């Protein structure tokens, strides 16, 4: 008959994991605090701290002020004991960043690398990722893996693109790229990756729609603390919601989709210049730019008001254009949504992600951080 009780080895592993997670969550702790909070003996805590420190997973960071006895040293997680790499593939460029164990970006950068469905592209991107990894201030052994976000629906096992009209990458297989990368790899839908970036360290996050304003619009819906994927992996997507019947032709084949009027690409097309130039002139007070911006926000509000009427939720503006939004823009967008809504809200439910440009790359890489923290 199989034994059902925990062995001494299992208990040690559980204690080690519990102590590590407590330090991780508290950020800075003393040994005595760990023992008291986790109801463990000082001997057990001391032994596990020595093991974790020897493995390089924790570090001492000075001392707490003395309360009359011997000063207790500050214990923290070694944030770069393990790192992950996040990559986001776009039609004209690639974003790449390292991530420490708290999900903080390390050396984020943008590469001009136009997408093409070819082995040559995979080789160039693979070599770029490996070069980036070599430049990180960590040893190669500490790199957990590479999360790769792409514009297109991705299979549940993260190995292939199942819908890819935007980038013409239908059927793209992770293995084609992974063969040029010296680390474990996983493929993820860019909007879902952005949603995961928002969920990171926010276990009590309320229902939220993440609106990804990149060159093409995307979105991710968070319900009950989980990313909603739906039956066929396109749950929570709003880019193909029709807001302008007989409007501009969308890459999906329909007309007037939200993407055709509210993506960064559509804003640049209407403005006739880059987003950088547009916002520079807008903030300088250009009446013409103010008219374009008002129209853009109004169309975005029309689409988002439909979501609010169906799913009463918060909203986060993320992606490339989020870096240009100011508080006044969020306030104006909120009032516009209210003007279209049968249920006007009293308080603004819209925020923005400061590092929205790299949100998808961050979210893709966090897969490996999350797995490490859970399995340590």
Residues 121-157 pLDDT 10s: 999 999 999 999 999 999 999 999 999 999 989 998 9
pTM: 0.90
pLDDT at 32 over 60: yes
pLDDT at 1 over 60: no
Q: Give the CB-side neighbour count of residue 148, counting CA atoms within 13 A.
A: 29
Among the listed residues 263, 267, 269, 271, the one whose alpha carbon sits nearest the alpha carbon of residue 303? 263
- 29 strand-pairing partners: 75
How far apart CA 292 and CA 123 sit, in angstroms, is 41
Q: What angle do CA 73, 76, 80 make, to 5 degrees?
A: 140
Sort residue 96 into left (φ over 0), alpha (ψ -120 to 50) or beta. beta
The whole-number pLDDT of residue 68 equals 64
Q: What percent of the chain has pLDDT over 70?
A: 97
Per-residue pLDDT averaged across 333-355, rounded? Answer: 94
Q: How confident is the model at residue 2 (pLDDT cuts 50, 70, 90)?
A: very low
pLDDT in tens, 80-101: 999 999 999 999 999 999 999 9
DSSP-H helix ranges across 257-358: 259-262, 264-271, 275-283, 287-310, 327-340
In contact, 95 and 88? CB cutoff 8 Å: yes
pLDDT at 3 over 50: no
How far apart CA 228 and CA 304 sit, in angstroms, is 17
In contact, 143 and 170? CB cutoff 8 Å: no
Q: How confident is the model at residue 67 (pLDDT cuts 50, 70, 90)?
A: low
How far apart CA 208 and CA 199 sit, in angstroms, is 10
The whole-number pLDDT of residue 228 equals 93
The whole-number pLDDT of residue 356 equals 86
In contact, 116 and 55? CB cutoff 8 Å: no
Per-residue pLDDT averaged across 89-114, rounded? Answer: 96
pLDDT in tens, 217-239: 999 999 998 999 888 888 899 99
DSSP-H helix ranges across the chain: 8-26, 31-38, 42-54, 119-135, 174-178, 190-199, 259-262, 264-271, 275-283, 287-310, 327-340, 359-375
How far apart CA 101 and CA 78 sit, in angstroms, is 8
pLDDT at 203 over 80: no
Q: How confident is the model at residue 63 (pLDDT cuts 50, 70, 90)?
A: confident
pLDDT at 4 over 60: no
In contact, 191 and 210? CB cutoff 8 Å: yes
Instruction: Count other C-beta atoms under 10 Å from residue 373's C-beta.
Output: 17
How far apart CA 205 and CA 278 sit, in angstroms, is 34
């Amino acid at each position: 008959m199989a034994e059902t009780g925990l062995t001494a080895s299992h208990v040690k592993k559980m204690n080690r994991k519990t102590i590590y997670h407590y330090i991780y969550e508290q950020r800075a702790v003393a040994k005595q605090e760990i023992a008291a909070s986790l109801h463990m003996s000082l001997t057990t805590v001391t032994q596990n701290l020595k093991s974790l420190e020897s493995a390089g997973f924790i570090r001492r960071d000075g001392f707490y002020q003395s309360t009359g006895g011997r000063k207790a040293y500050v214990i923290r997680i070694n944030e770069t004991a393990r790192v992950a790499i996040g990559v986001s593939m776009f039609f004209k460029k690639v974003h790449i960043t390292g991530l420490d164990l708290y999900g903080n970006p390390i050396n984020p950068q943008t590469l001009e690398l136009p997408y093409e469905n070819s082995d040559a592209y995979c080789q160039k991107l693979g070599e770029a990722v490996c070069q980036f990894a070599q430049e990180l201030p960590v040893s190669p052994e500490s790199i957990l893996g590479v999360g790769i976000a792409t514009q297109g629906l991705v299979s549940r096992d993260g190995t292939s693109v199942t819908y890819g009209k935007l980038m013409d990458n239908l059927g793209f297989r992770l293995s084609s790229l992974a063969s040029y990368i010296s680390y474990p790899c996983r493929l993820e839908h860019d909007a879902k990756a952005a949603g995961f970036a928002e969920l990171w360290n926010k276990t009590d996050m309320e229902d939220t729609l993440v609106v990804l304003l990149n060159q093409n619009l995307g979105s991710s819906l968070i319900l009950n603390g989980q990313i909603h994927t739906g039956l066929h992996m396109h749950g929570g997507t709003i880019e193909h919601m029709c807001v302008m019947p007989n409007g501009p032709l969308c890459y999906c084949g329909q007309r007037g989709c939200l993407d055709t009027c509210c993506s960064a690409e559509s804003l640049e097309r209407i403005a006739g210049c880059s987003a950088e130039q547009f916002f520079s002139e807008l903030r300088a007070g250009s009446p013409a730019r103010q008219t374009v911006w008002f129209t853009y926000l109004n169309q975005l509000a029309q689409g988002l008001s439909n979501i609010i009427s169906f799913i009463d939720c918060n909203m986060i503006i993320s992606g490339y254009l989020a870096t240009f939004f100011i508080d006044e823009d969020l306030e104006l967008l909120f009032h516009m949504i209210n003007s279209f809504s049968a249920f006007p809200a009293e308080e603004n439910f819209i925020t923005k992600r400061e590092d929205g440009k790299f949100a998808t790359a961050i979210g893709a890489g966090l897969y490996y951080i999350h797995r490490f923290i859970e399995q340590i």
